[in-house]
Copies of this chain bind each other. A is one copy, B any other.
Amino acid sequence: MKPAPGFLRHITACNSFNGEGFMPFLIHSARVGWVRPAFAEALLRCSDRFTLEGGEDKESTHEALTPTPLPRGEGLFADAPATGERLHVDLGDLPFEARNQWLGEIQRSLLDQGVIDRLHGEQFPIYDAAGHGPLGLIDRAAAPWFGIRAFGQHLNGFVRDRDQIRMWIAQRAMGRVNFPGHLDNLAAGGLPYGISLHDNLLKECHEEASIPAEIARHARPVGAITYLAETARGCKPDTLYCYDLELPGDFTPRCNDDEVESFRLMPIEEVAELVESSDRFKLNCNLVIIDFLIRHGLIDPQHPEYTRLAEGLHRPLCE
């Protein structure tokens, strides 16, 4: 069935998380994620470093959980922690390396037990809701089970010919785990621990589209998109750093791995039409393109949902 057209539905789809059926996951009193009760129970069985705090039957801990006034912008789910339970993990005695080794063992144990379905291999840093960290490392595929924020980079690669903009669009290989065959930004990838934003972007540009470093280094950071999705695995809060790269007219992308099926240079109006009226793009790429369209004046303030789109691309981080 053809979806009802509109840009906003993609933003709504990326922000499906509303806190219901989840409890906060804390490292040393700082919230780093959200977990489902069943997953929390699996963790509690794994190690006594995990403890449950709060809840109706634990009067003794209730005092410490009395909600204190939250700074502005941190209130959206402020009532959830006060009335429900929180999963806490105590890593206080472990230095950073030992902490990550222990977290790795927990994740492998969860995989062995069939609680989680896979591990990716790439390690993501864990930050708390206020942006402090890294407090530890988590496997990229395990992060949504813990509801831990993931960071990525997305590149808008385009060619300008006077006032006409054409955008390079990738089609993902059919063999990929997520969104096989869907359309994608020219280059995009997660930001693992231990590599700089600059180096990771150059690496993704090289691997995914054979963009040489002397061109890729002109990519301009243009902002960050944040959203908060609920998925089958759990809660997925993402931060996407976005980049614009104006490419020479004679450049043609070529994939250096088997992640991309093909590339196509499309008039930006055609790209906008696909985003607005189809689900051809990988879900979060729609948001990256909507942001591009707003910044380049191709969605303008006459659009009835203009401020809602501009606001919707930036889900508050602190909730």
Q: Are A197 and B302 in contact (CB under 8 A)?
A: yes
Minimum C-beta distance from A305 to chain B (A): 8
Q: Are B316 and A72 in contact (CB under 8 A)?
A: no
Q: Are B222 and A311 in contact (CB under 8 A)?
A: no
B interface footprint on A220-263 (CB within 8 Å = 1, 0 otherwise): 11111010000000000001010000000000000000000000
Chain A, interface residues (CB within 8 Å), range: 35 or more
B interface footprint on A119-158 (CB within 8 Å = 1, 0 otherwise): 0000000000001000000000000000000000000000
CA distance A297 to B242 in the complex (A): 10
Residues on B with C-beta less than 8 A from A239 are: 307
Determine if A61 is an interface residue (Cβ-Cβ < 8 Å): no
Determine if A295 is an interface residue (Cβ-Cβ < 8 Å): yes
CA distance A297 to B198 in the complex (A): 13
CA distance A59 to B306 in the complex (A): 41
With both beta carbons as reference points, the residue of chain B lying nearest to A130 in the complex is identified as: B308
CB < 8 Å: which of B72, B76, B226, B294 contacts A311?
B226
Which residues A53-82 have CB closer than 8 A to chain B? Answer: 72-73, 75-77, 79
Q: Are B15 and A310 in contact (CB under 8 A)?
A: no
Determine if A314 is an interface residue (Cβ-Cβ < 8 Å): yes
Contact (A131, B308) CB under 8 Å given A18-B72, A301-B241: yes
Binding site for B on A (CB under 8 A): 15, 18, 72-73, 75-77, 79, 131, 197, 220-224, 226, 239, 241, 294-297, 300-302, 304, 306-308, 310-311, 313-317
